Amino acid sequence: MINRRITLIGPEGTNLYIVFQFILFNVISWFTLYTSIESLEFTLSNLLFRQIIFSTIGIGIFFLTTYISINQVAELSFFFILVSIILLFGLLLTEPIVGVNRWYSLEAIGLPVYLQVSEFSKIFVIAYLARILSGYENKTIGFSLILINIILIFLQPDLGTSFLFVSVVLCMLFLTEIKFKQIFLISLCLIILFFIFLEFNLLGQYQIDRITNFFTSEDFSQQQSRLSISSGGLTGTFNQEIEDLNVFVPVQSTDFIFSLFAKNFGLVGTVVLFSLWLFFIFRVLLIIQQSDVIYEKFLLSGVILMLSIQILINLTTVLGIIPLTGIPFPLLSLGGSSVISSSILFGLINRSFIENNIVI
């Protein structure tokens, strides 16, 4: 492995485009949150400053991740998946917060922060699955570990994130020589599994409600979020003093942040944001094509699939196309765990750009 000198923008050879893109996404999030806060008072309960603190930590972690080579990630992946399973299992033993076992509260050590393990589990699962698919691991043990991981998330219960995991895993499987028929069979098995869970009442009532609500009537927050998006019009309300156009959207700063973004920056802003992401995906796809390392190809595909599918699920939720899921928009939604896990994903991408000597 090449030893790289440390420069102001990370290790020598850091890809300027990725750094720029990463910071830009963070700043867009700040601007979006800026319009939702009432005062510029610097407190930990102020959403904007909270996010700026998370972003700052995220940027640090982005650079730190860059120092880990793709090889090391591959070697450590088995260890990662074990840590992920232990942490997720530990969660089930904690006191539920708002009825679910989804977060570790860091209040005990004096931080007003809740750690969402499944956000980090994303990275571990991708890293390990890429390892299995590139043929290094025992497939039976490997897939069982991944299945356990997903089931533990499902039991939290967190239907949205489990669905995200299943989609990403299936998509990554699809990239191997697997036949369509097999993918179809696996999907069928999972659907049957889902109904078994349903039958044995292992799902929370509110999740069933969400799904039934979706098919029977429109969900309030989704209805509101559509109105909020609509109120943005072509150019958004960012620079207009329109007090009257204030549509109330529940949890707008986290899962529904896109409705706030679209309201502030309108269709123009939306097109710009989409272009930035599509261009980013396109760049990563080029690397996947160029790389000679099979593990790296799988890892990057996993990372980019995770990010894109997350965005798709988030957007379709915000637009009321699918039921409520609780999946945040990467680097746009308010939330420490989400920002930091996205920072790690970007760090991994940056690393592979470095290893492939793509500087700009």
Partner 1 sequence: MFRFHRVQFLFIIILLIFSFILFDIFSLQVTDYSSVEEQIQNQTFQEYYIPAPRGEIYDSKNTKLVSTSLEQYLFINLKKINEENLGTYKQLIKFNFIELSNEDIENIFNSKEALEPIYSLTNINFSIQKQLLEYDALEVFEIPSREYLYSNVFSHSIGYVGIPNAEEENEYQNARGNKLVGKNGLEKFYENTLAGVPGKVIFKGDQIIDYIDPIPGQDLTVTLDIELQEIVIESLIEGLDLANKNFESESNIERGAVVVLNIETGEVEAMVSLPDFDPNQFVEGISQFDYSRLDRKQAFNNFAIQGLYPPGSVFKVVAYWLAISENIFPVDANSKDDSIDCTGNLSFGFNDGSKQVYRDWKLEGHGAVDLRESLKQSCNVYFWDIALKIWRQFGNTDGESLLQEYSKELGFSKLTNVDLPYEKIGIVPDRQLFEEWKITRPELVREEGWLGGDLMNLIIGQGAITTTPLQVANAYRTLIVGQNSSPYLNLNATRVVNNNINISNEFSEFLLNDLGSVTNTGGTAFKAFSIMGDEVNDIGGKTGTAQNAGDKNNTSWFVGIDSISEPKYVIATVVDEGGSGSAVAAPISRRVIQFLKGLELTPVEFGEITE
Name the site residues for partner 1 (rule: CB under 8 A): 133-134, 171, 174-177, 224, 226-227, 229-234, 244-248, 262, 266-267, 270-271, 274, 278, 281, 285, 288-289, 294, 297-298, 301, 305, 308-309, 312, 315-316, 319, 321
Q: What angle do CA 11, 75, 169 make, to 5 degrees?
A: 100
Cβ proximity to partner 1: between 143 and 197 the closer is 143
Cβ proximity to partner 1: between 152 and 345 the closer is 345
Nearest approach, Cβ of 127 to partner 1 (angstroms)? 16
Cβ proximity to partner 1: between 20 and 274 the closer is 274
Nearest approach, Cβ of 307 to partner 1 (angstroms)? 10
Q: List, in order, residues 6 or more apart from 28 with CB less than 8 Å away.
A: 261, 273, 331, 332
Exposed/middle/buried for residue 314 (C-beta within 10 Å: 0-12, 13-18, 19+): buried
Tokens linked to 177 = 């020589």
Nearest approach, Cβ of 134 to partner 1 (angstroms)? 8
Cβ proximity to partner 1: between 100 and 171 the closer is 171
Nearest approach, Cβ of 229 to partner 1 (angstroms)? 5
Nearest approach, Cβ of 165 to partner 1 (angstroms)? 16
Cβ proximity to partner 1: between 117 and 318 the closer is 318
| Phi, psi angles (nearest 5°) of residue 7 | -120, 180
Residue 268, number of CB atoms within 10 A of its CB: 13
Residue 244, number of CB atoms within 10 A of its CB: 6
Nearest approach, Cβ of 85 to partner 1 (angstroms)? 26
- Answer for the pair 106, 113: CB distance below 8 angstroms, yes or no: yes
Report the C-alpha dihedral over residues 160, 166, 169, 175, rounded to 10 degrees. Answer: -110
Cβ proximity to partner 1: between 10 and 232 the closer is 232
| Phi, psi angles (nearest 5°) of residue 302 | -60, -50
Exposure letters 327-359 (e unless 16+ CB within 10 A, then b)? bbbbbbbbbbbbbbbbbbbbbbbbbbbbbbebe
